[in-house]
A and B are shown apart, each in its own frame.
Chain A
Amino acid sequence: MPDLTPEEVRTQLSAIGLTPVDQEDLDEITYRINAVNEAVLALEHPDEDAQEPRMVFWLNEEGSNE
């Protein structure tokens, strides 16, 4: 997946009402989002699709021995 460019990041931020304060902001935001996207894309696990995201664990486990 190609990295987002700073201008693409600026446009995406603008679409949700956010504005970097300066160019250093924009550059670092770009490094950060590209890093997360690349790292998340690289995550792989054979059981990934079998996992349903659940937010609160103990509510489902109350009363069990877990």
Chain B
Amino acid sequence: MSSSHNPGELVLRPATELSALLTSGEVSPVALTQAFIDRAKRYARLNAYITLDEEGALRQAAQAEDEIKRGMIRGPLHGLPVAVKDQFDAKGLRTTAGSKIVDYIASEDATAVGRLREAGAVILGKLNLSEFALGGNVTHPYGIPHNPWDETRQAGQSSSGSGIAVAASLCAAALGGDTAGSIRGPSAWCGITGLRPTWGRVSRNGAWPMAWFMDTIGPMTKTVADAAMIFQAIAGHDPKDPNTSSRPLTPFEPERGLEGMRVGVIRESIDNGMATADVAAGVEEAMEVLRGLGATVLDETLPLFEHGGLISNGLADSEAANIHRKFLRERPEDYDFASRRRLMAASLLPAAAYVKLSRFRMLMRRDVMAALGRVDLLVTPAQAEGAPKLPTSTGMTSKEAVMRQYFGLRAHRGPFNLSGVPAMALPIGFTPADPEGTHAGLPMSLQVIGRPFDENRIFQLGHAYQEVTTWHERRPELGA
């Protein structure tokens, strides 16, 4: 690393900036990897990592350094220290899926992880997550993930470690997984950018499944440009996942402004108390920025919006209950109590209800596609509120509480994972500071939704927004 670069400052920079410094030879991959390892150890209390592979990462970094010195540059990820959710296999590293039940050394990389390696990225380790990527668990076998903006609060589920690690600069970028909001939710609460790609765009090979027809893998990063860079590396057809599309991938090339772009605000997502006043105001302010960039902002409607959580969770949990049926029978006590109760309840969902929810999934998709025919992109809040306090119980002490807490929480993201379309969480500001002094403001986030395989238009909006705003440049104060 050049003496002009302070490692403590470098790790705070976006991945695209680090990429330029690494591939130009200005910064050493070994020194940068060491800086991220040191920081990950220093802030181990956040519980972002399950496995930090110091030795392996430094070995990969040394190889990258050697290749770069010899001019054998593989691409923009060469030498970049990244980390992956422990839902995905990484050859030679432990996979736990965030559970007490699964624990093995992977013999192969998940395809997305392998593509990062082929692109020259350094795999720092495996990141903490909700048990089996389900979301909703209260206890965590590998430590409670703490939100770096306020350590008394949730980081979001299920890619919690990925959200923390990027926000706290414990890696340059991360991979997360999103079935029903697990990239977008933690990205929103941790104040970072997170893309759920079009279903079928990124291979699911080597990933622990939750619901096969909604599971996706995507980038969680400091900026939109970072997300586009990681997405480009991991996307594309994979014979090991026959449900990946063969459509060609077009590199993202930023343009200035948003002239001619039509953006639709789904009113049901912010009106009538569907988001807090702070979040609703944040969305309106973000729309003003988009108008200033030349976009036309229109009101849009999605009549089934409020049912997004019910349809999404009803279907996803049924799929998950089937996946977990043997473990549930043989090792129920090894699940977190919230996961166990949820999966056992889902095991009893009548087949007729599953079919009905599947029909409503089609209706939701029909409405989402119709809206995306009228505008280029849709927007909603990515989370309806700032990160809540860490839970100590499920709070589901009545049927009404289940309906209120469980279905309502995911309404904002459900319609879009049900529809298989791409959606990205984009930081748009902060809530007011906590009067008790536990935080100086919690991140707020916009969800930007595009047509299938149109990730680049989402990137275009997000990148243009980040060119004229600074929310994505803020970093949490972590103290000692």
Chain A residues in contact with chain B, CB under 8 A? Answer: 3, 9, 12-13, 16-21, 24-25, 28-29, 31-41, 43, 45, 47-49, 51-59, 61-62, 66
Contacts and interface: CB of A to CB of B under 8 A. Distances in A.
B365 A36 contact: no
Interface residues on B, range: 35 or more
Given A47-B363, A54-B362, A55-B213, A40 B198 contact: no
Interface string B381-418: 00000000000001011111111001100000000000
A58 B353 contact: no
Given A56-B243, A57-B365, A62-B247, A35 B333 contact: no
Contacts of A47: 363, 366
B311 to A, nearest CB: 8
B323 interface: no
B453 interface: yes
17 contacts: A13-B344, A18-B344, A20-B332, A20-B341, A21-B333, A28-B345, A28-B397, A31-B401, A33-B348, A35-B399, A36-B402, A43-B356, A53-B358, A57-B199, A58-B199, A62-B245, A62-B247
B347 interface: yes
Contact of B406 (A35, A41, A56): A35
Contacts of B156: none
A25 B341 CA distance: 6
B363 A28 contact: no
B214 to A, nearest CB: 10
A19 B198 CA distance: 38
A48 to B, nearest CB: 5
A21 B337 CA distance: 9
Contact of A53 (B200, B328, B332, B362): B362
Given A18-B329, A58-B198, A53 B359 contact: yes
Nearest 6 A/B pairs, CB to CB: A53-B358, A32-B345, A35-B402, A51-B362, A51-B359, A28-B341
A32 B369 contact: no
A45 B360 contact: yes
Contacts of A49: 359
A33 B247 CA distance: 41
A43 B308 CA distance: 11
B308 to A, nearest CB: 12
Interface in B73-117: none
Interface of B: 198-200, 213, 243, 245, 247, 304, 307, 310-311, 314, 325, 328-329, 332-333, 337, 340-342, 344-350, 353, 355-363, 365-366, 369, 394, 396-403, 406-407, 419-420, 451-453
B345 A36 contact: yes
Nearest to B244: A58
Nearest to A46: B363
A27 to B, nearest CB: 8
A19 B307 CA distance: 30
B208 to A, nearest CB: 19
Given A31-B397, A47-B363, 7 more contacts: A24-B337, A28-B345, A31-B399, A33-B348, A47-B366, A56-B213, A62-B245
A56 B361 CA distance: 12
Contacts of A61: 452
A13 to B, nearest CB: 6
B398 A31 contact: yes
A39 B347 contact: no
Contacts of A36: 310, 314, 345-346, 349, 353, 402
Contacts of A66: 369, 451-452
A59 B348 CA distance: 31
A9 B85 CA distance: 35
Nearest to A17: B329
A6 to B, nearest CB: 12
B348 A13 contact: yes
A37 B350 contact: yes
A18 B243 CA distance: 32
B332 A19 contact: yes
Contacts of A62: 245, 247
A43 B341 contact: no
Residue among A28, A47, A52 with the most chain B CB within 10 A? A28
A12 B332 CA distance: 16
A45 B329 CA distance: 37
B452 A45 contact: no
B314 to A, nearest CB: 6
A33 B198 contact: no
Contacts of A29: 341, 344-345, 348
Contacts of B346: 32, 36
B307 A43 contact: yes
Residue among A13, A24, A29 with the most chain B CB within 10 A? A29
